């Protein structure tokens, strides 16, 4: 077995924890390799490789950090069916459910097959420019179209399988997975979806009219959003990849062919909501 480690940049304590975990694995005859082109540099003497190479060769990837590190890891392994284990070094950590105190036990359970694996739907996001250029990227959380510079409303024409939904006049539009529903979508007033659903949420950001409410659609349908403004916009995918969206450019979003495989947290989804968001609690 070969296990990869991805450590959030700027976190030497996380690197120390990963080194300890890797040494423990090697003592049990399990190979450990560090991603060396993102985050903290691996310690001297530890095997390392670029993230793309680790994703192709590892049996699982361990992400030590917050949700941003987990999302980066998801981008590495999502197309390779390599399961991802999240160890939380951040403050919130919806995607990284295991605390540092649980790291050793969680890793041992994952390596020995005692930790269940669940699948999370991803998005296939394609930018089609008016000039005919095409570029695609995958998303675990969301694709967001926002204004580039000026604090000015945008006009974004959305359709589903060719059927017009609306032209949103707003600061932007969030296209979210169920996994991403607790991220930017939630902050913008969108609904929370359980992560086992296969659906896409459209949530306008500060819409001009209150009738433009969040919308949930089936994931097997094709969404398209065209920038019909006179201003340029920015497309951001999972906070990691961005491109300019010129007037007339179109963003297409549909369910990705392959889901992300993640190790199941020991707590239920609603337990995590109660813990992270004080869900349903009444203040005295």
Q: Which of 13, 19, 12, 14 is nearest to 34 (CA)?
A: 19
Cβ pair 203, 219 in contact under 8 A:
no
CATH code, domain carrying 219? 2.60.200.30
**Which candidate, 44, 63, 229, 243, places its Cα nearest to that of 136?**
243
Same-domain check for residues 144 and 239: yes
The tally of CA atoms less than 13 A away on the side-chain side of residue 57 is 16
- Indicate whether 54 and 88 sit together in one domain: yes
pLDDT at position 235 is: 98
- Structural contact between residues 227 and 248, judged by C-beta atoms closer than 8 angstroms: yes
Same domain flag for 68 and 6 = yes
155 is catalytic: no
Domain count, the chain: 2
Specify the pTM: 0.93
C-alpha distances in Å from residue 6, one per residue of 110, 131, 185, 235, 238: 16, 38, 26, 26, 17
Asked if residue 58 is part of any domain, the answer here is: yes
Could you tell me the two tokens for 48?
């390392």
Q: Are 48 and 146 in the same domain? A: no
Same domain, 131 and 33: no
Which value, to the nearest 10 degrees, does the dihedral of the CA atoms of residues 61, 21, 89, 44 take?
-90
Neighbouring residues of 45: CB distance < 8 A, sequence distance ≥ 6? none
How would residue 137 be classed by pLDDT, with cut points 50, 70 and 90?
Answer: very high
Does 188 lie in the same domain as 200?
yes
Same domain, 110 and 181: no
CATH of the domain at 103: 3.40.50.10330
User: Does 274 reside within a domain?
Assistant: no
Indicate if 131 and 250 belong to the same structural domain.
Answer: yes
Is the same domain home to 96 and 139? no
- The catalytic position among 13, 67, 220, 249 is 67
Higher pLDDT, 40 or 217: 217
Does 281 fall in a domain?
Answer: no
pLDDT at 273: 86
280 domain-assigned = no
In a domain, 277, yes or no: no
Do 248 and 137 share a domain, yes or no?
yes
3-class secondary structure, 159: strand
Query: Is the model's pLDDT at 284 over the cut of 70?
Result: no
* 117-135 per-position pLDDT tens digit: 999 999 999 999 999 999 9
279 part of a folded domain: no
Q: Do the Cβ atoms of 233 and 172 come closer than 8 Å?
A: yes
- Domain of residue 186, residue span: 123-255
Task: Please report whether residue 54 resides in a domain.
Answer: yes
State whether 53 and 115 are in the same domain: yes
């Amino acid at each position: 077995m070969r296990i990869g480690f991805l450590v959030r940049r700027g976190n030497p304590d996380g690197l120390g924890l990963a080194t300890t975990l890797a040494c423990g694995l090697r003592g049990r005859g399990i190979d450990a390799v560090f991603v060396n082109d993102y985050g903290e540099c691996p310690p001297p003497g530890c095997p390392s490789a670029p993230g793309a190479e680790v994703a192709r060769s590892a049996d699982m990837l361990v992400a030590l950090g917050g949700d941003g590190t987990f999302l980066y890891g998801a981008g590495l392994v999502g197309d390779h069916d390599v399961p991802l284990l999240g160890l939380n070094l951040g403050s919130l950590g919806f995607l990284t459910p295991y605390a540092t105190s649980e790291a050793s036990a969680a890793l041992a359970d994952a390596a020995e097959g005692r930790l269940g694996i669940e699948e999370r739907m991803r998005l296939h996001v394609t930018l089609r420019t008016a000039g005919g250029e095409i570029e695609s990227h995958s998303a675990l959380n969301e694709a967001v179209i926002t204004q580039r510079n000026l604090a000015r409303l945008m006009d974004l024409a959305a359709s589903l399988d060719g059927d017009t939904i609306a032209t949103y006049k707003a600061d932007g539009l969030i296209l979210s997975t169920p996994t991403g529903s607790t991220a930017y979508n939630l902050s913008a007033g969108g609904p929370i979806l359980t992560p086992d659903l296969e659906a896409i949420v459209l949530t306008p950001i500060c819409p001009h009219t209150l009738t433009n409410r969040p919308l949930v659609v089936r994931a097997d349908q094709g969404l398209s959003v065209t920038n019909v403004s006179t201003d340029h916009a920015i497309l951001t995918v999972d906070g990691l990849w961005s491109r300019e969206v010129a007037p007339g450019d179109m963003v297409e979003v549909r369910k990705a062919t392959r889901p992300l495989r993640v190790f199941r947290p020991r707590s239920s989804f609603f337990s995590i909501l109660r813990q992270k968001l004080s869900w349903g609690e009444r203040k005295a």
